[in-house]
Amino acid sequence: MKTYLRKVRENIDARGITFFVMLIILTLFWLRGVSGLKFNITIVFTAIIIIQSFFLKKWTILFYSLKVALVVIFLFEIVGSRINNTALIRKVQDNYFLMDSVQGYRFAPNTLGAKSALLVDDRVVYSVYYSSDEFGRRICSNSDIASLNKKNKHVVFLGCSFTFGEGLDCEYSIPYLIQGKDAKLNTYNYAFRGYGPHNDLLNFQPGLNIINKDIIQEKEGYAIYTYIDDHLNRVYGGGEYLAYGHDTPDIFIEDDSVQIRKRGSFNTWLALNIFNKSEILKLFKINITYPKTEEYYKRFAEIINYTSSLYHREFTQGKFCVVIYPNQDKDLTWVKYLSDNIFFLHPESPVDYDTNLEAYILDTIYDNHPTRIMNEYYSNIIYQSILSLD
């Protein structure tokens, strides 16, 4: 035992400088709030040194190789971080997210004026306030605009932050713009940040069930699901999505029923600890993504089809529509699997979209959400299209 302890002390003394350097690096990372892959590499490197010290020379070649690999990766991460971090990006927001056993997370009901702001260096990309009604639907004031007056038809909006109106005042969201076009319509904004068609389906499920004929008074109308390309990754559980959506369930339609499963723990671990923390992987846009297989495209479409059937179960005279958001059509392979009773709309982008990009998205580098001008363009198309369905 004495011999072992003596050799351990000798190993520790021999690696004293390395221990000291590791301690300084970890302290600096902690003070600067560094929590990416560089920090994890430093922790692992330090752990290897500690293990080597106590296990003496056992596995020396293996550990030497691991340390060399970690140092190389660390240096690449430094280079990647220098290239990637060209600006200080800050998201300032009140807590308007509610953790939910069905959805994973959703817009907290009865939210009034929750602030959300995006700042790049000293520039404000947007600074807005969000409010919701008792069902977690976005509204434009403390009163639910959809319940002020009895209307003839409803328009139920399903989708993500594009439809929610991320970065815009409520008056410039797509549902509200359409609300203002026709006094006979009541619009309901069920969209929320990071959502996809799997979230839309869950709005009809027991435990939540906030889209039904008791809550929505108008018996006739339309359900409009607005698609963007990233929805394919959200249903599958892509790496970037898992950074914030890992608590959302995995949805499958099997034997004409909804199967709700927990997200895969291995993919979630990879996304949270490797892909979304590596500056090099970010630089080369490498991440976990959905499989481009017919089986997956069919699964994606089946979720939309099932959502349509649930909507029609509640509103037998309603019309379910899938609308592609302009310039969000890189992969529409799934469309061929949509049910025949679903109306499909694929609008063209504005004619000057590519040459006048600043007019249509909030920030050409840091935020691709649509502007008021883009939403006005899109809402006009949707409104004219639903009129043609009657």
> What average pLDDT does this structure show over 213-217?
94
148: pLDDT strictly greater than 60: no
Label residue 146 by pLDDT band (50, 70, 90): very low
Q: Give the 3-state secondary structure of residue 135.
A: coil
Taking residues 36-40, what's their average pLDDT?
77
* Pairwise pLDDT comparison (310 vs 145), residue with the higher score: 310
| pLDDT reported for residue 341 | 96
pLDDT of 42? 78
pLDDT of 144 over the 70 cut: no
What integer pLDDT is reported at residue 145 of this predicted model?
Answer: 47
Q: How confident is the model at residue 8 (pLDDT cuts 50, 70, 90)?
A: low
Average the pLDDT over each of 45-49, 265-269, 276-280, 303-307 and give the range with the smallest value. Answer: 45-49
pLDDT at 292: 97
Tracing tokens 């140092």 back to the chain, one arrives at 71
Contacts of 197 (CB under 8 A, 6+ apart): 158, 225, 227, 231, 235, 300, 303, 304, 307
Dump pLDDT digits (tens) for 92-127: 999 999 999 999 999 999 999 999 999 998 899 999
Q: Alpha-carbon distance 141 to 130, whole Å?
A: 9
pLDDT of residue 21: 72
pLDDT at position 89 is 82
Six-digit token string for 232: 């394919």
pLDDT at site 27 = 72
More confident residue, 285 or 26: 285
| In the chain, % of residues over pLDDT 70 | 88
* Band of residue 149 on the pLDDT scale cut at 50, 70, 90: low
Instruction: Give the chain's radius of gyration (CA, Å).
Output: 25
In angstroms, the CA 336 to CA 118 distance is 38
- Which of these ranges, 144-153, 180-189, 281-290, 341-350, has the smallest mean pLDDT? 144-153
Q: pLDDT for 284-309, tens place per residue?
A: 889 999 999 999 999 999 999 999 99
What confidence score (pLDDT) does residue 136 get?
Answer: 97
pTM attached to this predicted model: 0.87
Between 5 and 36, name the one with better pLDDT. 36
223: pLDDT strictly greater than 70: yes
The DSSP bridge pattern shows strands 185-189 and 257-261 to be unpaired
Closest to 341 in 3D by CA, of 378, 380, 381, 313:
313
Contact criterion met (CB below 8 Å) for 121 and 265: no
Categorize the per-residue pLDDT at 88 as very low, low, confident or very high, splitting at 50, 70 and 90: confident
Band of pLDDT at residue 54, cut at 50, 70 and 90:
low
The overall average pLDDT reported for the chain is: 89
Supply the pLDDT for residue 128. 97
| 8 A C-beta contact, residue 346 and residue 324 | yes
Residue 50: pLDDT above 80?
Answer: no
> How many CA atoms are closer than 13 Å to the CA of 300, on its beta-carbon side?
27
Q: What is the mean pLDDT of the segment spanning 300-321?
A: 97
What would the mean pLDDT of 80-87 be, rounded to a whole number? Answer: 77
